[in-house]
Amino acid sequence: MTAPMTTAEQTQSYIDEHYITRPELARRAGISEDRLLELVHAKCIPPHAYEVRADMEVVSSFGVYQLPSEPRYYYHPCSLRWIEQATALAQDHPLTVVAERIKAKFSDDIDTALAGRPLPWPDGKSRVWDYLMDGTWSLCLKDYDIAGLVEKEVARATIARIVDAAAGREISDSERGELEDAVSRFDRVALPFSPHEVGESSRCLEVNAVVKKFGLSRDHASGR
């Protein structure tokens, strides 16, 4: 896919601002890169958010040369917490058991964060876990934790519910207030999204769209 009007430098700058490389994450966690990958493959921790392939094209009077380079892998800095949780459990358990316990805690943490609110996902928690373990949530959240994940998704569900209910009519004052609160909650926990992906993100297609559609007031101190 190609993102129009987005340069490689813009996206690299965004990634450098919000993510860290695999060697840096391993260094902060005090483990080897091989051990980090073992934890990823065992589904004890989430994987990288981005793989950056920076092959070089060099042009001179000799011709055009395509030079491959090793890809770089970038992780959400809060992945460190997931590593700390996994390595603590791994002191007494094999990684298969560690993965089971982390998945069970993940489910419990969702229930705690919902605090009695309904699940915002029609297909339940399994898809949420899959998105955690393929790196999707690391693209979305400022603080890569379950509380932020749930808050973001509840905000999205609130926006979708009100937009669907108000199809073909103006929204009421109470609906406007609820929408503005949902937008504010989304902005508090969600990343701005990378410049090459933001056009396809929930921030653009759902949140920014509803702000524009209904002329909502937005707390710019809490988001973008």
pLDDT per residue, tens digit, the chain (224 aa), is 655 688 999 999 999 999 999 999 999 999 999 999 999 999 999 999 999 998 889 999 999 999 999 999 999 999 999 999 999 999 999 999 999 999 999 999 999 999 999 999 988 899 999 999 999 999 999 999 999 999 999 999 999 999 999 888 889 999 999 999 999 999 999 999 999 999 999 999 999 999 999 999 887 434 44
The Cα 129–Cα 110 span in angstroms is 10
CA pair distance 129, 36, nearest whole angstrom = 19
What is the per-residue burial (b if ≥16 Cβ within 10 Å, else e) of 178-212?
bbbebbbbbbbbbbebbebbbeebbbeebbbebbe
Q: How many CA atoms lie within 13 A of 41 on its CB side?
A: 6
Residue 115: which region, alpha, beta or left (left: phi > 0; alpha: psi -120 to 50)? left
pLDDT reported for residue 1: 61
Q: Which residues contact 83 (CB under 8 A, 6 or more apart)?
A: 25, 29, 31, 36, 39, 45
